[in-house]
Amino acid sequence: MSKQSWTVPNQSDRVFVITGANSGLGLATTLELARKGARVILAVRDEAKGRRAVARITADQPAARLEVRRLDLADLDMVRAFAVRLRADGVRPDVLVNNAGVMAPPRTLSAQGHELQFAVNHLGHFALTGLLFDLLAQGNDPRVVTVTSTNHRQGRIFFDDLAGEHGYSPMRFYNQSKFANAAFGWELHRRLTAAGSPVRSVLAHPGYTATNLQTSAPIGLVKLVFGRILSPLAQSPDRGALPQLYAAAAAEVDSGHFLGPGGPAELRGAPKRVPLAPAAADAQTGRRLWDLSERLTGVRFAIPDAG
């Protein structure tokens, strides 16, 4: 199902919340949706960078409907405050794109004491999805798009050392967070399907894309490998964003689909359906991660677990 000539259809009747929308894949996604008439909430950690992104987009699309709101996914209190404000202001999102991420920092703990990559890439998005779920369920063709990576296939959850106290490796714990993204997206799909919910849970990955995620990584080896040695293989952010745009807007996408580039090794190319690691679709692992995430975030989804 590779979509060489696919373009985003008109989105003027839909509202999107996109995390990490001020740069890289998030910015490319926001720009394309703005071109198609969508209203987009840019959920960003740095509001000044968000405003600069809006200025850049409106220079291209003067009629763009964009709004910057602060969201630090590393702080669960701020995730709650973001959701409360969104609700109080009457914003009714149709699509949530869980796009933001951090990659390979030295061992760092979040405001609540969780390993930073797991906190930002997974727990913050899990909480945000749960806090907005009832609004999404009322939306127009509602979807949750969770952005993972091919690295999820090398990952697993270190349930006995979640915060890396006894053996932290930046890339190993990045892989854990990307595995968590994949397992969460699939488990959410399973629960939505069992409950007969109209919301679709769709997964996407960008292949190898030139963004500041790799080049701003504080670990020198990651910068060297991804920022220089492999950079000639990278595709541009507007190309890398196609799988998540397709996941968010293509009519034929079903809940549970995983979209990525259709080229060799899924590094680049037009979006197509790609395989999820079997371990990420394991029901026992999915339930265990879900239960753990509920406990760590204090967020419960308004959908039953049908078993």
Phi, psi (5° rounding) for residue 162? -60, -35
**Dist. CA 79–CA 16, nearest whole Å:** 17
**Dist. CA 244–CA 258, nearest whole Å:** 9
The answer to whether the beta carbons of residues 57 and 66 sit under 8 Å apart is yes
Catalytic position from the list 168, 174, 208, 246: 174
What is the rounded (10 degree) CA torsion for 189, 191, 192, 196? 140
Q: How far is CA 210 from CA 42, 92, 103, 225, 269, in A?
A: 21, 32, 14, 12, 14
Please confirm, yes or no, whether 174 is among the known catalytic residues.
yes
Q: Which residues carry out catalysis?
A: 174
